Chain A
Amino acid sequence: MTNLDISQRIRQLPGWIVLALWALVVAVPLYILVVSCFKTTAEIYGDRFGLPTNWTLDNFANAWTQAQFARYMWNSFAVTGGAVVLTLVVSAMAAFPLSRYQLGWSSPVLAFFLAGVMLPIRLASVELFSLMKTLDLLDSRLGLILVYSAIRIPFAVFILANFMRVLPRELEEAARLDGAKEWRILFRIILPTIKPAVAIVAIFTAIAVWNDFFFPLIFIFDDAYKTVPLAITTFIGQFRTDWGMVFAALAISMMPVLVMYLLLARQIREGVGATGGLK
């Protein structure tokens, strides 16, 4: 190693320390969360930072059955899955003619959709509540799926239309000459070609819906339909003294996004870069 290398390394050191400090600020709370899941409440009080002496899975078992996290996870999965599929299908259908036909009315309609990316829908929650009551959609997973899809459609149409616009014409013309219908062209030719965009829309819709708690808070009263974030807010107050179980419940509820993040970190990073934001 030359002198230049060494001096350069020393000059880079403060920067590395700053970056490492923030990495610790991110990692330590998560580390405490994870180790606490495997400790008894007495041990959590005794030693907050060390590894558990006896690794126990009781906390997970209690959270899963006694605190009914199995049920809340199922509700969250059903609502998230339903919203992702519905959003993708109807948004792809809308983006297709709007971006690829010469229609004359496509730019105003696209602009009308685009405005929805910004609209603060929470401020309409009173009227939305009345509407859901009229349609008998309170206390139902379908109600949540419809509301979430409506909120995510503008973003999805925007991204999908942007990707579809730049595809070459020849792509669909051959199929059209063979007599393929629009439906088939969209789902068999266009969508497979823009898989990255479909993935971005699916990931961001899934994260946003999985994490939301505002709409379950106002639309769901029956415990049978509660989603994970809503369950957590009521749960912490109820079981505050059982720290191990509370930590385990938090760990269980972040597991799906953790798995997704580990598998898709690169797509998510690039997606944020491509769309300028996740929220």
Chain B
Amino acid sequence: MSASRLRRAPIEWQKHRAAILFVLPALLIYCLFVVYPLASSLWGSLFEWRGFRMRDFVGLDNFARLFVDPSWTKLSGAFTHNVFWFCGIMVLQNGLGLIFAYLLFLRRRGTAFLQSVFFFPAVLSPVIVGALWRLLLTPDGAVETLLHNLGLLEGRLTILGNSTWALWVLVAADAWNWMGLPVLIFTAGLRQIQPEVFEAARLDGAGNGRILWSIALPQLMPSISSLTTLTFINTFNQFDLVYVMQGVQGNPNFATDTLVTYFFRLAFGAEGAVGITDIGLALALGTLLFLLLTVVTIGLLRFFERRTVRF
């Protein structure tokens, strides 16, 4: 017995050694370029900075500065826009996506083709999508011409420069970009529901609308959960579309500013006098955003886990 243990021990160690050697490259790259910068950003938010140089430990001073004007106006504005963006995507993209998915689910033919058409914009870079829509929506652009031809508009189309409507345009472009995602996820979810459940409801005389609302929706909770979480993470990381369509200032007059564009301006010197950064403030904002994302994501996942219907 002791002999076999002696023989096994070196093999086990060899196995561990091989495992460590195999895991090490991925772990090193991940730690060096993701974990370390994130951890040192959180730590750095407690210090005073001069440009890119860390100076003195100041505790929560940077966080306090975030909540005093002029930063507070930008922060609360950007936060409001992110919340608006989240709600807009939930209704416009995920709500419409659910309806499209259900309509596709009710049909036998053309499903795969239409799914592919709807999903295509999702493989395009938000930069390309933003640039395309900016060209189409510019004064003189295709959308203006179309509205003129239909008699719906006279004069210039200035919607991207309009502080009331600009954010709506960005949310719509974002929904256009990613609409295929809820369609795919919801059709996959609908297929997993047992057909008998639908047949029983139909025999009881329920119409398609009623079946969607009372039968399908409660059973789609896993899909709704992952989409809500994804939507939350993506809307609160929103940057590319704003940068391409409205510039890093979130034009017009910060009407489309988001938390990440504000963070970017503080960190890389496009806020206030160009070239002057406020790293302390940027890191404090980054830390808050990091906490918000982590806490809400975990909260969302827990919330949906409790509400998932199991039959």
Which residues of A approach B to under 8 Å, CB–CB? 12, 15-16, 18-19, 22-23, 25-27, 29-30, 32-33, 45, 48-49, 86, 90-91, 93-94, 96-98, 101, 103, 106, 109, 113, 116, 118-128, 130-131, 146-147, 149-151, 153-154, 157, 182, 186, 207, 210-214, 217-218, 228-229, 232-233, 236, 243, 246-247, 250, 253-254, 257-258, 260-261, 265-266, 268-269, 272-273, 276-279
Contacts and interface: CB of A to CB of B under 8 A. Distances in A.
Interface string B218-252: 00000000100010011001011001100000000
Interface of B: 15-16, 18-19, 22-23, 25-27, 29-30, 32-38, 40-41, 44, 52, 96, 99-100, 103-104, 106-107, 112, 114-128, 131-136, 140-142, 145-146, 176, 178-179, 181, 184-185, 188, 226, 230, 233-234, 237, 239-240, 243-244, 260, 263-264, 267-268, 279, 282-283, 286-287, 289-290, 293-294, 297
A260 B260 contact: no
Contacts of B99: 18
Nearest to B27: A94
B23 A150 contact: no
- Across the A-B interface, give the 5 residue pairs with the lowest CB-CB distance, nearest first: A150-B33, A211-B125, A97-B19, A123-B286, A94-B26
The B interface is mostly helix, strand or loop, or mixed, namely helix
A19 B37 contact: no
A108 B78 CA distance: 37
Contact of B26 (A90, A124, A210, A217): A90
Contact of B33 (A22, A27, A131, A213): A131
A47 to B, nearest CB: 9
B286 A269 contact: no
Nearest to A98: B23
A119 B23 contact: no
13 contacts: A29-B142, A30-B120, A32-B142, A106-B19, A121-B34, A122-B237, A122-B263, A123-B263, A124-B40, A126-B283, A127-B41, A236-B131, A273-B184
B118 A253 contact: no
Given A233-B243, A272-B184, A279-B234, A29 B136 contact: yes
Contacts of A48: 141-142, 145-146
Which one of A29, A116, A157, A236 has the highest number of Cβ atoms from chain B below 10 Å of its Cβ?
A29
Contacts of A210: 125
Given A23-B117, A150-B33, A126 B289 contact: no
Contacts of B22: 93-94, 96-97, 182, 186
A130 B279 CA distance: 12
Contact of A233 (B32, B127, B178, B237): B127
Contact of A214 (B16, B104, B239): B239
Contacts of A236: 131, 134-135, 244
B176 A26 contact: yes
Contacts of A182: 18, 22
Nearest to B20: A97
B103 A101 contact: no
Contacts of B30: 113, 116, 150, 153-154
Contacts of A146: 29, 33
A268 B123 contact: yes
Nearest to B18: A182
Nearest to A151: B34
A118 B297 contact: yes
A98 B141 CA distance: 54
Given A33-B132, A211-B126, A277-B230, A272 B104 contact: no
Nearest to B288: A123
A49 B145 CA distance: 9
A257 B123 contact: yes
B19 A149 contact: no
B33 A128 contact: yes
B125 A23 contact: no
